[in-house]
Amino acid sequence: MRTRTTTLALAGLLVATVTTGCGNAVTTASEVKADGTYAQIAGLPKDQQVAKAEELARKEGRALSLYTSMTADIATPIAQAFEKQYGIHVSVFRGNSETVLQRALQEAQAGKAGADTVETNFAEMAALSDNDLLADFNGSALDKVEPTARFPHWTASRLNVFQPAWNTDLIKPADEPHSWEDLALPKYKGKITLEVSDSDWFENVTKYWLDHGKSQDQVDTLWKGIAANSKVAKGHTTMMQFLSAGQSPMEAMNYTYITVRAAQKGAPVTHLPESGVSKIPAFGRPNGVGMIKNARHPASAWLFYHWLLTDGQKELVKLGLTPSTKVPGDKSLKGLTLVPFDVKGLSDKDAATWDKKYDALLRGAATGK
């Protein structure tokens, strides 16, 4: 039913081809050149690194290739803002996170990097790191990022925050959900939509319940109740369109920025109760940025990494997203109770197990059992 397991399995398969061959790692001419550029910048005092990166970016031709899973209405203004600040033309390849990963891995296998920098979901960033495709970054921008948002070879650039969402014309204040457990209540029978790829949400809620005293039997019963109340759809943006049009009363989970952006356009949707304060634990899933080791434009890749964690954070706030750093005027977490997201548990070999468990839950939702 889902593609993430297949894609991450491909990552494991390709790493053998990328990093071995007659017992030796593949090293391309562009990687040697990129390594030299990254080393030049990294070897300078931090207050001199940006100027050096700008100098080297001019010599590269002021170009940058960005691979991202940002939607077009986000990727385009982000690219334009970066181009305006540095005069570097950005070409954008965008797709879902699995497609971004697959393309980057296939290009690495062929010894031809198409991307200079990647910005996508944490699981795919971790896969790129595990495949040794990302370069280290030591710029001053890291000083603005919490240690928990720094990972090997990549850094969290924004958070996708998980919360239920509902149509306020169809779900009145007296019927608002106030916990993840509420989604299993009989009153929501036939009113909830589950998204086909949300196994990371499923894993985080499950572990949260278990960590806070529920037994496995209690957790299983709750999920069975949620599935019985639900139908299945694909794509968070598509789901929000249905919710906005009143074709669906409630979504078990959507990203808060999608809900907020729809509400700002006049849709009768929200992720906050009438009080304005949600008690539902909000999981902030990191999306991250990284530089490709054998980038054709490594100085531009370095500049984009630095920019996205500094001035770019302000641009993310303007677009209604949740930045990974503290930005004045950011209200994206207002009214939410943020709790830790289980990056580690979803970046290891157990991730596929959660995919399978979630697929089994969805089959129950699809059949109404």
Q: Which domains does the chain have, with CATH numbers?
A: 4-159+285-323 (3.40.190.10), 162-284+335-367 (3.40.190.10)
| Structure tokens belonging to residue 45 | 């005092």
Q: Taking residues 184-194, report their average pLDDT.
A: 97
Q: Taking residues 131-144, report their average pLDDT.
A: 95
Q: Residue 6: which pLDDT band, with cuts at 50, 70 and 90?
A: very low
Q: Residue 111: which pLDDT band, with cuts at 50, 70 and 90?
A: confident
pLDDT for position 51:
97
Site of tokens 């239920």:
164
Least Cα distance to 326 among 153, 162, 159, 82 occurs for: 159
What letters, b where the CB count within 10 A reaches 16 and e where it falls short, cover 75-100?
Answer: beebbebbeeebebebeebbebbbbb
- Check pLDDT > 80 for residue 364: no
Site of tokens 């770019």:
312
pLDDT for position 127:
93
Lowest mean pLDDT among 11-25, 95-109, 158-172, 293-307: 11-25
Q: Taking residues 47-69, report their average pLDDT.
A: 96
Query: Apex CA 117: angle with CA 9 and CA 3, to 5°?
Result: 25
- Check pLDDT > 90 for residue 290: yes
3-state secondary structure of 308: helix
**What's 214's DSSP letter?**
-
- Check pLDDT > 50 for residue 27: no
Q: What percent of the chain has pLDDT over 70?
A: 90
Q: Residue 155: which pLDDT band, with cuts at 50, 70 and 90?
A: very high
**368 contacts: CB under 8 Å, gap ≥ 6:** 228
Q: Taking residues 71-92, report their average pLDDT.
A: 96
DSSP β-bridge partners for residue 43: none
Q: From the CB of residue 72, how many other CB atoms can be counted at a distance below 10 Å?
A: 10
As a whole number of angstroms, the distance between CA 298 and CA 36 comes to 9
Inter-CA distances, 232 with 192, 193, 220, Å: 9, 6, 19
CB 253 within 8 A of CB 166: no
Q: Taking residues 126-133, report their average pLDDT.
A: 94
Q: Taking residues 9-16, report their average pLDDT.
A: 48
DSSP β-bridge partners for residue 337: 281
CB 117 within 8 A of CB 301: yes
pLDDT tens digits, 208-249: 999 999 999 999 999 999 999 999 999 999 999 999 999 999
DSSP β-bridge partners for residue 134: 292
As a whole number of angstroms, the distance between CA 176 and CA 179 comes to 9
More confident residue, 27 or 118: 118
pLDDT tens digits, 170-188: 999 999 999 999 999 999 9
Q: Taking residues 9-15, report their average pLDDT.
A: 49
pLDDT for position 32:
58
pLDDT for position 335:
96
pLDDT tens digits, 276-286: 999 999 999 99
Q: What percent of the chain has pLDDT over 90?
A: 83
pLDDT for position 351:
76
**279 contacts: CB under 8 Å, gap ≥ 6:** 178, 179, 337
- Tell me the whole-structure pTM to 2 decimals: 0.86
- Check pLDDT > 90 for residue 203: yes
Classify residue 152 as exposed, middle or buried by CB count within 10 Å of its CB (0-12, 13-18, 19+): exposed
- Check pLDDT > 70 for residue 366: no
pLDDT for position 8:
52
Q: Residue 23: which pLDDT band, with cuts at 50, 70 and 90?
A: very low
